[in-house]
Structure 1
Amino acid sequence: MEHRRIRSGRGNAGRVIAFAIALAATWIAAPAGSQIRSGPGEPFDLDAEARAIGQLVTAAEVADWARDRRDAEAMLVASRMMGEIRNRSQSGDAPFLTSAVLLQEAETLAADDPDILERVRRQQSPNKGVRSSPFGPGPIVLVRRLRARETYSFTVEARRDEVLRVAAIGDGDTNIDLTIRDAEGVVLCNDGSRDHYPVCTLNHPRPGTLRVEVVNRGGVWSRVQILTN
């Protein structure tokens, strides 16, 4: 399991933003010899969508940091990171954490700063959509509303020689946990780190059906945006 977190703390905003970008780079760096698809017809890297999930989780962490410090510049960074990635949305509620949503938050945080507002307007341009992504078709995204202490479970099919990454991004009101079990119920990964964006990564899973459990540990309901490749 890979597990990286940005922790709140005092310091220069520019340094924290630079650290967030470096953190994203560690999530999405391609292994030696891999190929990243940048257009149709080119070879597809099997791990590309797993790296996309890592970048989305990092963007959520940067957005949290920006909200805590009312930092419009950091929120713009989070929006740009999220805007690079396509999603394959499943039935249910629409994703609540998107590049467009973070842009609106950046606009609110900007107040009357003309430079930030102009950059928000440029990013809101209809020509800024994801036209060619290094992350392939993008991860599968489903949104569920979990009652207090409710567990939502589903199965995924692990494929040989492909990284499996699953993440759950809560709306911030409660602690969200994540567990992956094999067909016999053995825990292969557990992220119970008492935050609202747990991540599980299986680098060399055995092929077969795995069960994913997303748990709302809090006392109130929460929306959860679940990502898997």
Structure 2
Amino acid sequence: MLLAALSVAAAPAGRQARSASPPDADAEARAITQIVTAAEVAAWARAHRDVQAMLVAARMMDDVRTRQESGDAPFLTASTLLDEAEAMAGDDPAIRAEILRLRTQDKGVRASAFGAGPIVLVRRVQARQTFGFEIEVRRDEVLRVAAIGDGDTNIDLVLRDRSGTIVCLDSSQDHYPVCTVARPQGGALRVEVVNHGGVWSRVQILTN
């Protein structure tokens, strides 16, 4: 999908135009699913202090390419998850050797099952505020959008059509909501990322 414009709902800003043509929207939608799953595995690993699970999450992230928009650097990456695994590993030589192997493996051009990868945009969403932007959706191509928070607050995700009607809502009590529209009509959709918490949160937003 095309990221067309960005604006903070609490304080409207100017529009930014962008055009792109992802080669395989369905593959990039699957990539978003894998990234969200990696975030969930990483959260489980933190809660259980399970370094092996954190390595699984890192390998899942390393599988996926992304196309970064302007803004803060992504905070959920293979490298940051390996940093967390290293902190958990202590002096375990086998774990440290596996981390080193993952860090130093060939990073040249590799075939990817997920195409060019989803667009990633990182923003800081203030407490009890909404960050919104528009995307251009291709007709009948699956659209998937995810918003991965940094874990401090409950994050919701809303997609609206031009009339303001809600097309998709994920209001689960978590910090990685996902919206999927299987056969969109095409045209502009508004994405709204809602921070329900009392503190600001970094949010890593993904869309194909």
TM-score, normalising length from structure 2? 0.87
8 A contact 1:83–1:129 mirrored in 2: no
Matched, 1:73 2:52: yes
Matched, 1:64 2:46: no
Report how far residue 126 of structure 1 moved: 5.0
Q: CA separation of 1:130/1:54 partners in 2, compared to 1, >3 Å: closer, same or farther? A: farther
Q: CA separation of 1:129/1:222 partners in 2, compared to 1, >3 Å: closer, same or farther? A: farther
The structure with more strand, counted as a fraction of residues: 2
Task: Point out where structure 2 has 5 or more consecutive residues left out of the alignment.
Answer: 1-22
Q: What is the match of residue 87 of structure 1? A: 66
Secondary structure at 2:117 match in 1 = coil
Matched, 1:172 2:151: yes
Task: Please tell me the residue identity of whatever aligns with 1:219.
Answer: G
Matched, 1:113 2:97: no
Task: Please tell me the residue identity of whatever aligns with 1:77.
Answer: V
8 A contact 1:148–1:220 mirrored in 2: yes
Q: What is the match of residue 147 of structure 1? A: 126
CA distance in structure 1 between the partners assigned to 2:109 and 2:72 by the alignment: 22
CA distance in structure 2 between the partners assigned to 1:154 and 1:223 by the alignment: 16
TM-score, normalising length from structure 1? 0.79
Q: What is the match of residue 203 of structure 1? A: 182
Matched, 1:137 2:116: yes
Task: Please tell me the residue identity of whatever aligns with 1:227.
Answer: L
Q: What is the match of residue 79 of structure 2? A: 100
Q: What is the match of residue 219 of structure 1? A: 198
Matched, 1:48 2:17: no
8 A contact 1:157–1:208 mirrored in 2: yes
CA distance in structure 1 between the partners assigned to 2:152 and 2:108 by the alignment: 30
Q: Please report the RMSD computed on the Cα atoms of aligned residues, expressed in angstroms.
A: 1.1
CA distance in structure 2 between the partners assigned to 1:108 and 1:93 by the alignment: 23
Runs of 4 or more consecutive aligned structure 1 residues displaced over 6 Å after TM superposition = none
CA distance in structure 2 between the partners assigned to 1:160 and 1:196 by the alignment: 29
CA distance in structure 1 between the partners assigned to 2:55 and 2:41 by the alignment: 10
Q: CA separation of 1:130/1:63 partners in 2, compared to 1, >3 Å: closer, same or farther? A: farther
Report how far residue 45 of structure 1 moved: 3.9
Q: What is the match of residue 11 of structure 1? A: none
Secondary structure at 1:165 match in 2 = strand
Task: Point out where structure 1 has 5 or more consecutive residues left out of the alignment.
Answer: 1-43
Report how far residue 72 of structure 1 moved: 0.4
Report how far residue 46 of structure 1 moved: 3.3
CA distance in structure 2 between the partners assigned to 1:104 and 1:162 by the alignment: 36
8 A contact 1:180–1:210 mirrored in 2: yes
Report how far residue 157 of structure 1 moved: 1.1
Report how far residue 130 of structure 1 moved: 6.1
Secondary structure at 1:138 match in 2 = coil
8 A contact 1:66–1:75 mirrored in 2: yes
